[in-house]
Amino acid sequence: MSSERWHITLAVARYKQGADPHIQIFELEVDPDEYVLDAVERVWAFHDRGLVFRHACHHSTCGACGMRVNGQEKLTCITPIRAVCQKDGTLKIEPLRNFPVVSDLSVDMTSLYTRTESAAGAQVLNLKHSSLPFEKNLFPDDGLEHERLSDCIECGMCVSACPAALTDAAYAGPAALAAAHQTVVQKGLSALPAWVDSAEGVWRCHSGFECSAVCPSNVDPAWRIMELRRLVILNRVRCLFGLNKD
Partner 1 sequence: MKTPENSWLWLYKIVAGLLIVALLGIHFVVNHAVAPEGLLSYADVANYYQVPGIALMEIAFLVFVVSHALVGLRSILLDLNPSPAILRTANTVLLLVGAFAIVYGVWLVFVIQSRG
Partner 2 sequence: MRNHPSPSRFPLWFDPRSRHPGTWAFILNRITALGLTLYLFLHLYMLSKLSQGPEAYDTFIALAKTPVIMVGELLVIAAGLIHGFNGIRIALTSFGIGTRRQTELFWLMMVLAGLGTLFFGYVMFFKD
By CB under 8 A, which span of 15-23, 48-56, 77-85, 167-175 interacts with partner 1?
167-175
End-to-end CA distance of the chain: 58
Report the residue from 66, 95, 201, 221 that binds partner 2 according to the rule CB under 8 A: 95
Q: Between 55 and 229, name the residue whose CB sits nearer to partner 2.
A: 229
Q: How far is the CB of 212 from partner 2 (least distance, A)?
A: 8
Closest C-alpha to 26, from 6, 5, 38, 40: 40
Site residues for partner 1, window 111-130 (CB under 8 A)?
A: 115, 118
Q: Is the dihedral of CA 81, 85, 90, 94 positive or negative?
A: negative
Helices 174-187 and 110-118: crossing angle, nearest 10°?
A: 20
Closest C-alpha to 9, from 89, 66, 79, 83: 89
CA–CA separation, 87 and 46 (whole Å): 20
Report the residue from 21, 29, 110, 191 that binds partner 2 according to the rule CB under 8 A: 21
Q: Is the dihedral of CA 57, 5, 47, 89 positive or negative?
A: negative
223 binds, among partner 2, partner 1, none (CB under 5 to 8 A by kind): partner 2
Q: How far is the CB of 189 from partner 2 (least distance, A)?
A: 15
Q: Between 169 and 199, name the residue whose CB sits nearer to partner 2.
A: 169
What residues are paired with 66 via a beta bridge?
75
220: left (phi over 0), alpha (psi -120 to 50) or beta: left
Q: Residue 137 gets which letter from DSSP?
A: P
By CB under 8 A, which span of 115-123, 138-146, 167-175, 177-185 interacts with partner 2?
167-175
Asked if residue 99 binds partner 1 (CB under 8 A), the reply is no
Question: How many residues of this chain bind partner 2 (CB under 8 A)?
Answer: 38
Asked if residue 199 binds partner 2 (CB under 8 A), the reply is no
Q: Between 66 and 221, name the residue whose CB sits nearer to partner 1.
A: 221
Task: Write out 67-122 in H/E/C secondary structure.
Answer: EEECCEEEEHHHCEHHHHCCCCCEEEEECCCCCCEEECCEECCHHHHHHHHHCCCC
Asked if residue 229 binds partner 2 (CB under 8 A), the reply is yes
Q: Between 60 and 70, name the residue whose CB sits nearer to partner 2.
A: 70
Site for partner 1, rule CB under 8 A: 115, 118, 164, 167-172, 194-195, 197-201, 203-204, 206, 232-233, 236
